[in-house]
Amino acid sequence: MRVAAWPAVGFIVAAMLAACGGGIRPLVAGTDACEYCRMTVSDVRFGAEAVSRTGRVYTFDSIECAASWLASAPQGGAPRGVWVADYSTGALIPADSALFVKDGSLRSPMGRALAAFDGSIGRAALVERYGGDVIGWTDVVAFMRAQGLPGAAARQSAPAAHDTH
């Protein structure tokens, strides 16, 4: 019985390896975990994915994490590509061609207020709707390389109360 099971195990392993060969896939909220910060993906509108040279898919809960991961020189070298979720639709789009709203009204999972959009809404319209600045992917990566996630050390105390009045 035990001997007979081994070919089946081999087949399953082969099937799993074959399934890993593709490209990006939709993020699954509640199941996928972020490669960089380990959080479970909750809101796919802020998510991102990268595919390595060997075809391995990495999932991220936020643009902050995908950019930080890229800036940290990940194992296996530069990935084949990075995709970010379009905030309006949740669809994954190439990071290189996306527009990023930073420090606007959209509160992203990792504290840097970053959301991505495909080109269908112009820069001026994005600023009008969400505030903040519109930047490109290289700017995002450079910013995360320089600043990182909002370091707890950099922020010793919260601003005083009443500053929303």
Partner 1 sequence: MRVRQGLPCLAAAFLACFSTWCAEAQVVRVDPAGPVRSIRAALATARPRTTIIVGAGIYREGRLRIDKSVTLAGEPGAILDGEGQHTVLEIGGDSITVRGLVVRNTGMSQTEDRAGILASGARWCRIEQIRSERNLFGIYLANSADCVIDGNTVIGSGTSQTLQGNGIQVWQSERITVSSNVVTGHRDGIYFEFVTNATVAANESRGNERYGMHFMFSNDCRYERNVFRANGSGVAVMYSHRVAMIANTFERNWGSAAYGLLLKDISDSEIRDNRFLSNSTGLYLEDSNRNQVTGNEFTGNGWALKLLASAQDNRMAHNAFAGNTFDVSTNSRHSFSTFENNYWDRYRGYDLDRNGTGDVPFAPVRLFALIVEQSPASLMMLRSPLVDALDLVERVLPVLTPAEMVDRSPLMRPPVGGASR
Judged by CB under 8 A, which stretch of 36-44, 91-99, 117-125, 138-146 contacts partner 1? 36-44
**Beta pairing partners, 141:** none
Question: Does residue 113 interact with partner 1 by CB under 8 A?
Answer: no
The answer to whether 15 contacts partner 1 (rule: CB under 8 A) is no
Q: How far is the CB of 96 from partner 1 (least distance, A)?
A: 26
Check binding of 39 to partner 1 (CB under 8 A): yes
Span of 31-39, 94-102, 118-126, 139-147 interacting with partner 1 by CB under 8 A: 31-39
- Is 156 an interacting residue with respect to partner 1 (CB under 8 A)? yes
Strand, coil or helix: what is 134? strand
The region that residue 141 occupies, defined by phi over 0 for left and psi between -120 and 50 for alpha, beta otherwise, is alpha
Does 149 sit near partner 1 (CB under 8 A)?
yes
**Residue 155 found at the interface with partner 1 (CB under 8 A):** yes
- Residue among 81, 79, 70 at smallest CA distance from 142: 70
Q: Please tell me the distance from the alpha carbon of residue 153 to that of residue 64, in angstroms, as a whole number.
A: 18
Terminal alpha carbon distance of the chain? 73
Residue at 11: amino acid letter: F
* List of residues contacting partner 1 (CB under 8 A): 9, 13, 16, 29-33, 37-40, 42-45, 107, 110-111, 149-153, 155-165
